[in-house]
Amino acid sequence: MSHIQVVWFKRDLRIRDHRPLFEASRRGPVLGLYVYEPSLWGAEDAHAGHLEFVNQSLDALAEALAARGGRLIRLVGELPEVLDRLHAAQPFQALWAHEETGNLLSYRRDQRVQRWCQEAGVHLVELPQNGVIRRLDTRDGWAGRWARRMGAPLIPPPQRLVTPTLPPTLPDSGRVEAAALGARGEPRPGQAPGGEDIGWRVLRGFLRERGVDYRAAMASPRTAWDGCSRVSPHLAWGTLSMRQVHQATVRRQEDVALAQRRGAPVDPRWVQSLEAFQGRLRWHCHFMQRLEDAPGMERRNLHRGYDRMRPDTPDPDLLTAWAEGRTGWPMVDACMRALRHTGWINFRMRAMLVSISSWTLWQPWREPGLHLARCFTDYEPGIHWAQVQMQSGTVGIDVPRMYNPTRQARDQDPDGSFIRRWVPELEGVPDAFIHTPWEMPALSQRMCGVQLGRDYPTPLVDHALAIRRAKARLTETRRQPGVRAEAQQVFVRHGSRKGPPRGGWGGSARRR
């Protein structure tokens, strides 16, 4: 039997800290494989922007492998049929991959691949790459296991790879674009580029320069563009591993501490900023673990007691206005338009967007969640669906903030510069009305050239009234028989072990 080792790249598009690649290289000739799966790329949560980032990362990965004598082939098709074709043309002994906590399509795909390997006599090796633990019995001790994984030595890239000679019956598809795979949309003009080396540059820039005011800068969309790490797409698609980011941050913390002990000049803001960043790295895997333990939460409420709280189907007019940035609340519209253009917005504004759709507009979370999944270049299913449900109040142990869009605008964009950049029809609106243009008198509208209802919409609903109704419905739901008991069960299975939620079951737990 051939000793060829196939390394199946999925959301791990790098050569450093890649244990499957390292272990495969020790056992025989290595063939790197990426499969463009039309069923995944044509799915309702996929977007051409995701594929553009992946293709850029695959180009960089192919170059890195080639520099070591290796090769990456890209094939189009469904799995395991592609593996069947590959095995028929060039038999291989083992298939190496990282464990993945993805959407339901990828979960079921992995199950099919496992069955195929058993039937074909191919040794399948799946290895963890983050803090998510498969077949977890209890959350007790989870934080310690995460810390041990993140503290383990980094895996070096192979110095030299031996590549098998492939028969001409198995051509390499090369780079495949969105149109050929049925992916929605077009690549985003302002999207950050992909690639392992780019990911490292972004991380180093944050840890050495941009992150000094992270703790304060991450709240506002004006300052978060530079003040946040911006490594989330690289974590989502695996051009950086969580362990690499964690350990690089630890080293930076040690450097700062050493400089302080020696009396060297160092900005004191670094201490709290790096500590805050480390906290968010831990929450990253905490939320992914929820989807690993409950794959169905992508489509249904984690707490089933909330199944009848909202309508089953969204209002198409409200959903479209929200998704296109035409709600009439300037901060909401600016954030949505910035997100659609760049593929990124900071966490607080993500929470606000979900809050507006779920609480103010009272829409079910699934369709808005799909829209945001397509918008986020850093779409990570485990984090995304856990956060969408948490912010929509359907987890049962986390009560989200019901964001006031006007207050957020005044707090996070006091001079209106962010709003004016992304909602140019409001550029001439005076500062006194930039956060609440619907309050402008008719004369002021004429003077600044903006007619409300024609050039820019008035708010879709009365926010204060909508929130009062939402709170009443939430309270009514929580009073239903069995809801409190199920919330306790959800906490036991999925909750952080930092302690029970403040205010008891159903109260507000610690948020990212």
Report the distance separating Cα 386 and Cα 196, nearest Å.
27
* Residue-level pLDDT at 345: 98
Which 3 state secondary structure label does DSSP give 244? helix
Catalogue all structural domains in the chain, each as residue range(s) with its CATH number: 5-129 (3.40.50.620), 196-292 (1.25.40), 297-494 (1.10.579.10)
Q: Please give the structure tokens belonging to residue 71.
A: 């090769």
* Residue-level pLDDT at 452: 95
Q: Which residues of 2-23 are buried (b: 16+ CB within 10 A; e: fewer)?
A: eebbbbbbbbbbbbbbbbbbbb
Report the distance separating Cα 379 and Cα 40, nearest Å.
14
Q: Please give the structure tokens belonging to residue 31.
A: 């063939």
* Residue-level pLDDT at 497: 56
Q: Do residues 146 and 302 make contact, with C-beta atoms less than 8 angstroms apart?
A: no
Q: Do residues 371 and 421 make contact, with C-beta atoms less than 8 angstroms apart?
A: no
Q: Which residues have CB under 8 Å from 252's CB, separation 6+? A: 207, 208, 270, 274
Q: Which amino acid is at 230?
A: R
* Residue-level pLDDT at 498: 59
Nearest-5° Cα angle at 80, 78 to 84:
110
* Residue-level pLDDT at 484: 81
Report the distance separating Cα 24 and Cα 65, nearest Å.
13
| pLDDT (tens digit per residue) in 350-378 | 999 999 999 999 999 999 999 999 999 99
Which residues of the chain have a pLDDT value below 50? Answer: 1, 499-512
Q: Do residues 158 and 20 make contact, with C-beta atoms less than 8 angstroms apart?
A: no
Query: For residue 467, how many other CB atoms are within 10 A of its CB?
Result: 18
Q: Do residues 366 and 474 make contact, with C-beta atoms less than 8 angstroms apart?
A: no
* Residue-level pLDDT at 2: 59
Which 3 state secondary structure label does DSSP give 259? helix
Q: Which residues have CB under 8 Å from 124's CB, separation 6+? A: 94, 95, 97, 113, 114, 117, 118
